[in-house]
Each structure stands twice: as structure tokens, then as C-alpha cells.
Amino acid sequence: MPPSQIVPTLLDEGTYIASVSTFYRVLRKAGQLVRRGRAVSAPKRKPTSYAATGPNQVWSWDITYLPTPIRGQHFYLYMVEDIFSRMIVSWEIHGTESADHAAEMIQKACLKHGIYNQDTPLILHSDNGSPMKGATMLATLQRLGVIPSFSRPRVSDDNPYSESLFRTMKYRPDYPSKPFKTLIDARSWANSFVSWYNYKHKHSSLKFVTPAQRHLGVSDAILEARRLKMRQAKARHPERWGSRKTRDWTLPAEVWLNPDKKTSPLGNKTAIAA
């Protein structure tokens, strides 16, 4: 019997030995605080890790609600982000949430970005929502040669890139304070946000180059120019720098989705690399 039942049972027999917490402490010290049922406890499953070393290797996507004037009704923003460059590679807004809309969006995105001609398959990561696992969506991914990846059930932080993107979007100063009246209004605002995010937003995780600059491969030249300019500034006024080095403008060669932090700062080296 567990201590929670031992104590009241003994009390009914006119005996009090110790509190429930004391019973637990004694059992734990004696190594007898073990699982009593026959069923084996479910093992803790680690999230699958993927590494991107360039654009169009690992995409992350999700759906978020956009408010409408009607209580209980929403517009649905479908958005796909490349985790290597943080560039929004595709987006759509619909009045419903469905696997059909998602499948059509991914198909158009693969055509636009030349995924059909890649040597290595694209990894598409998402959570476990019904549009992500719908039959139409999974059949489309199989036909396109795209490998689906899903978050662990009931785990909220296995899709960090999309969650971070939506947070950036909804905390923008120009994010509407009132609901979107029509789909056209919502799409118009989203179009301006995506343009700003991809081509003007200096991303903190990208050493403050834009996602488009990283995606198009011009970020290294920009960062090298910054590095040279700071070295020249230090050479002109070394007293202002002392022994400090100039700022590190190097971008990581790998970007990991759900890395195993206990194994390596870059992630689990046994994971599948895109």
C-alpha cells in the first residue's frame, strides 16, 4: 500500500506511527519507493534533432490565430520559416484551418524555391495539429519527397522558430490593436510584415543581418565589412579598446532544430543532418 493509504488504515486500527511524508522518507531511504503497478512507465522521448547548413534544408511552420470582429471566429495565418536563414519562405491566410490549405501552400513553396531539384530532401517541422497530420498534407509531402518532422506530444517548446516568429509579429508596434475586418485587410497587413521581416529586419540571431541577406548568401560579405571597419576603428584609437577584442561577427555554420544540449553546444552529433 502507498503511505497515503497506510496512515489512515493504521489510524482506523487505533495506531499512529508517523506522517505520510515520514513514511515516504523512510521508504525512499530503504530503496522501496518504487512503482507498484505492472504497467511500464512511458519512456521520455527526446525530440528529433536536425541540422541545417544552408537554406532550404529545414523548414518550420505553424498556424496562428488572427482576430476578427466576430467573437469566437478567427482568420488563420499559415507561415513557413527557413531555420537557417530565418526567412519566411511562404505564408497564406484563410478563413478555415485545414490540411488542404496547408498542402497547397507547401506545394507552391517547394515549386517557388526549387525544392524538387534538391539532392537532399527537405525537412518540414511542425507541431501535431490536425492540418499538419491530415491525410492530404502527408500525401502531398510524400509526393514531393519532403520529410515531415513533428513535435513531441504535449510539449510546447519543440517548435521554437515558428513560436519566436509569431511572437515577433504580434509584438510589432504596428500590429493592429483592433481585429481585422476582412481577409483582404489581414492579408494586406501580413504582406507588409513579411516584406519588413525578410528584407529590413536586422535579426538578432543573425548578427543583425536580414533573413534575406542570409538566405541569398550575401551576409558573409556584409559581416566581413563590419569586422574590417571595427578593426580600423581600433587601430585608430587603441586606447578606447584596451585589451578587448573587436566584436565577433561570425555566423554559425550550422543551425540546429531541437539540439541535444547535454551532448554538445551545437547539438546531438548523431542526429540526422539535412
Give dist(CA 84, CA 55) in Å, integer: 6
Per-residue b or e along 36-69, where b marks 16 or more CB atoms closer than 10 Å to that residue's CB: eeeeeeeeeeebbbbbbebbbbbbbbbbbebebe
3-state secondary structure at position 242: coil
What ranges do the domains of the chain cover? 1-32, 50-201, 211-250
CATH code for the part of the protein at 50-201: 3.30.420.10
Q: CB of 120 within 8 A of CB of 50?
A: no
Grid coordinates standing for 84? 537557417
3-state secondary structure at position 174: coil
Give dist(CA 184, CA 171) in Å, integer: 21
Q: CB of 55 within 8 A of CB of 84?
A: yes
What residues contact 43, with CB distance under 8 A and at least 6 apart? none
Give dist(CA 92, CA 74) in Å, integer: 14
pLDDT level of residue 44 (50, 70, 90 thresholds): low
Grid coordinates standing for 13? 486500527
pLDDT at position 74 over 50: yes
CA neighbor of 189 nearest in space, from 165, 170, 161, 204:
170
pLDDT at position 269 over 60: no
Average of per-residue pLDDT values in the chain: 88
Question: Between residues 48 and 131, which one has the greater pLDDT?
Answer: 131
Average the pLDDT over 93-114 and give the result. 95
Amino acid letter, residue 8: P
Q: What are the two backbone dihedrals, phi and then psi, of residue 25, each rounded to the nearest 5 degrees? A: -65, -45
Provide the whole-model pTM. 0.78
3-state secondary structure at position 79: strand
CA neighbor of 123 nearest in space, from 101, 98, 150:
150
Strand partners, 58: 123
**CB neighbourhood size of 258 (10 A):** 22
What residues contact 141, with CB distance under 8 A and at least 6 apart? 103, 106, 124, 147, 148
- Maximum CA pair distance of the chain? 88
Lowest mean pLDDT across 86-95, 124-133, 189-198: 124-133
Q: CB of 180 within 8 A of CB of 67?
A: yes
pLDDT for residue 259: 77
pLDDT level of residue 156 (50, 70, 90 thresholds): low
pLDDT level of residue 158 (50, 70, 90 thresholds): low
List C-alpha distances in Å: 3 to 15, 30, 31, 199: 14, 14, 14, 62
